């Protein structure tokens, strides 16, 4: 019984899941054993204790992490999440995925990620600022425009990025806007960054629809998760001609086979804090949204929501992972066997890091671009990444995830090999 339980826990561990995904493509690209072992482990793991002053004057201790997986192709890049369920294994997995994501879209970054174990929903703005500034000071020894550039993630915002930038800048005595991306426009943010993840997701779904010979107009879309990525995905895909038929957030969901009025739905979300109670559809839940009758499913919430239990019931022909790690490896195999094209997270949500790269470039140059130019650059990057991943998937007869990994891991391995080991 103990052995069986360990096997189940191993399958559910997100870090082991990330390593397994690497292992599965190592043979396809002929990755040598030494490089394979090197890429399975993070370059650097920093764990910090973060004392933060509460509104009552007392200090509370939090635990934070910053993980840098591989920086052979450039400085680290990756978000910081504030969430009560943050774990070191989760942050390590997310850092590894960032390495592959940056390599797949061919931007000169390595993978990194950060997190603080906290519940920002139960903190005041002042407490959140105190926590952010202290966490920044603790990790400042390994971040910077040429070292590692954080960005927003789960429950972190442009305002939090502004506090990180200001804290880091105060330590150095001058403004350093390139230390983070996802900042407000007023202090060096980029146009198009707020919708970048969703827009990139739509671009690769468009490519997948074309590859499968499907028509965009009227294609049914279900979206699980209605935060930044999910909400803007609904808006952009609705404008593009898709029909959004079901959405959900952490409180529940709403569906309408005739199509939801996305504009009214977003207004309802801002007004009430949830899609629940929207009068333009019937009540549903997160589980039902995943299994809803649709052409395109967009999981845009947290990890591990598509499992071997629900994968046989998914009806979509395309699953576009706007979230990180929503599909378990066993579920991946089931979906592939059912001829469902999974657009992996390192491709489907790479729009965010791509426009973060654009923001970093603009900050370093002090030369800012128009939004139309940013969106066009993003489209070129994501379209090329889809086609390269699709070519590898077709060549090897494997899933799009493995095709994308073939492209990404080969690029990181080549850079690592060329640079060699010092000393």
The CATH number for 58's domain is 3.40.50.10860
Q: Residue 272 domain-assigned?
A: yes
Q: Is residue 417 part of a domain?
A: no
Instruction: Examine the domain organization and report whether 155 and 212 are in the same domain.
Output: no
Note whether residue 93 is domain-resident.
Answer: yes
Instruction: List the domain range (segments joined by +) for residue 212.
Output: 196-348
Is there a domain that residue 30 lies in?
no
- pTM: predicted TM-score of the whole model, two decimal places: 0.93
Is 362 part of a structural domain of the chain? Answer: no
**Residue 393 CB partners (closer than 8 Å, separation 6+):** 399, 400, 402, 403, 404, 406
Query: What is residue 17's predicted lDDT score, i.e. its pLDDT?
Result: 86
In a shared domain, residues 223 and 287: yes
Q: What is the DSSP letter of 281?
A: S
The chain-wide mean pLDDT, for the chain, equals: 95
* The token pair that represents 168 in the structure block: 């880091």
Q: Are residues 157 and 221 in the same domain?
A: no
Could you give the number of structural domains in the chain?
Answer: 2
User: What tens digit of pLDDT does each residue of 113-168 get?
Assistant: 999 999 999 999 999 999 999 999 999 999 999 999 999 998 999 999 999 999 99
Residue whose C-alpha is closest to residue 67's, from 25, 26, 104, 15: 15
Helix runs in 218-284, H state only:
228-240, 262-272
Question: How far is C-alpha 1 from the geometric centre of its chain's CA atoms?
Answer: 36
The pLDDT tens digits for 160-207 are 999 999 999 999 999 999 999 999 999 999 999 999 999 999 999 999
Question: Has residue 359 been placed in a domain?
Answer: no
SS3 18: helix
Domain boundary among 109, 140, 174: 174
The catalytic residues are 113
Distance set, CA 238 to CA 218, 223, 232, 242 (Å): 9, 12, 10, 5
In a domain, 380, yes or no: no
Q: Give mean pLDDT, residues 405-415.
A: 98
The answer on pLDDT for 8 being more than 80 is no
CA distance 61 to 173: 28
- pLDDT (tens digit per residue) in 29-61: 999 999 999 999 999 999 999 999 999 999 999
């Amino acid at each position: 019984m103990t052995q069986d339980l360990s096997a189940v826990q191993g399958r559910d561990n997100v870090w082991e899941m990330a390593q397994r995904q690497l292992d599965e493509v190592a043979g396809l690209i002929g990755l040598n054993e030494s490089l394979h072992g090197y890429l399975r482990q993070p370059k650097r793991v920093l764990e910090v204790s973060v004392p933060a002053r509460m509104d009552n004057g007392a200090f509370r201790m939090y635990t934070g992490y910053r993980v840098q997986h591989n920086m052979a192709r450039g400085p680290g890049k990756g978000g910081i999440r504030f969430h009560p369920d943050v774990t070191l294994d989760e942050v390590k997995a997310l850092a590894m995925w960032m390495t592959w994501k940056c390599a797949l879209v061919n931007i000169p970054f390595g993978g990194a990620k950060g997190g603080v174990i906290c519940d920002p929903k139960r903190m005041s703005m002042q407490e959140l600022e105190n926590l952010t500034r202290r966490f920044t000071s603790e990790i400042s020894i390994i971040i910077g425009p040429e070292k590692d550039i954080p960005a927003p993630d789960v429950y972190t915002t442009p305002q939090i990025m502004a506090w990180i930038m200001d804290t880091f800048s105060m330590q150095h005595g001058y403004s350093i806007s390139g230390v983070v991306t996802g900042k407000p426009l007023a202090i060096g943010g980029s146009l198009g960054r707020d919708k970048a993840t969703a827009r990139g997701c739509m671009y690769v779904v468009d490519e997948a629809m074309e590859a499968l010979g499907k028509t965009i107009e009227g294609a049914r879309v279900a979206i699980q998760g209605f935060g930044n990525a999910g909400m803007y995905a609904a808006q952009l895909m609705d404008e593009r001609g898709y029909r959004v038929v079901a959405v959900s957030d952490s409180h529940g969901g709403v569906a309408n086979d005739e199509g939801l009025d996305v504009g009214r739905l977003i207004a309802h979300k801002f007004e009430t804090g949830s899609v629940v109670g929207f009068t333009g559809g019937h009540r549903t839940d997160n589980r039902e949204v995943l299994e809803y009758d649709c052409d395109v499913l967009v999981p845009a919430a947290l990890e591990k929501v598509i499992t071997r239990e629900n994968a046989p019931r998914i009806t979509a022909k395309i699953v576009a992972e706007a979230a990180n790690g929503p599909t378990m490896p066993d579920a991946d195999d089931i979906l592939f066997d059912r001829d469902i094209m999974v657009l992996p997270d390192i491709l489907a949500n790479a729009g965010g890091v791509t426009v973060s790269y654009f923001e970093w470039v603009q900050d370093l140059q002090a030369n800012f671009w128009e939004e139309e130019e940013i969106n066009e650059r993003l489209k070129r990057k994501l379209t090329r990444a889809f086609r390269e991943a699709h070519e590898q998937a077709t060549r090897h007869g494997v899933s799009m995830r493995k095709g994308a990994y073939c492209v990404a891991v080969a690029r990181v391995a080549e850079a690592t090999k060329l640079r060699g080991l010092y000393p």
